[in-house]
Amino acid sequence: MAKDPKTDAAVAEAPAPASKKKLIIIIAAAVILLGGGGGAAWFFTHQKADPKKEVKHEEPAHAPVFVTLETFTINLQPDPDEKFLQLEISLQVANLEEAELMKAQMPAVRNRLLMLLTSKKASDISTTEGKKLLSDEIIAEVKKPFTHGGKPQEVSGVFFTSFVIQ
């Protein structure tokens, strides 16, 4: 029995379309996977920050900057006796530039503090609460701009290094 050449050709052609379909399906799946992976990578690398999330910018830690003032010796308001206050203060400022500005304006700083301190009675500042209030008042006085329309000084703390009432 002789084989018909037409049937051999038909048999040989029949598997060919099936393998082309598999090849097209594999290529399509690979393109979809690569496209999806590339799209996901782009999405995550170009994602905008969520405005609801708080972003904390940490400042690099630096040593605090202090400006030490000369000793104040002040007559306090009579209450009922006259008292004296001898006081040494260090002011904590934001940076070295602020410290230099403070030193350049030292006569104005000392004048403001003398005016504030001479208005006090010994009973006002002898308690812990009184000293805290005085500290807040000193910060408020020193923060005031030195020129009309100028920017306020950046003073974050007042430290009493000596506090004597006699």
Each residue's pLDDT tens digit, 150-162 = 889 999 999 999 9
Distance between CA atoms of residues 164 and 83, nearest Å: 10
Q: DSSP 3-state assignment of 56?
A: coil
- Higher-pLDDT residue of 123, 1: 123
Digit-coded pLDDT (tens) for 90-114:
999 999 999 999 999 999 999 999 9
Contact between 89 and 161 (Cβ < 8 Å): yes
* Residue 18 exposure: Cα atoms within 13 Å on the Cβ side: 5
pLDDT number for residue 78: 92
User: What percent of the chain has pLDDT above 90?
Assistant: 55
Residue linked to tokens 């000793």: 71
| Residue 31 parent element (H or E) | helix 15-45
For the chain, how big is the Rg over CA atoms in Å? 40
Distance between CA atoms of residues 140 and 160, nearest Å: 16
Contact between 93 and 65 (Cβ < 8 Å): yes
Distance between CA atoms of residues 131 and 163, nearest Å: 10
Strand pairing class (72-75; 84-93): antiparallel
Name the band, by pLDDT with cuts 50, 70 and 90, for residue 164.
very high
Token readout for 12 is: 């040989």
Domains of the chain: 65-165 (3.30.479.30)
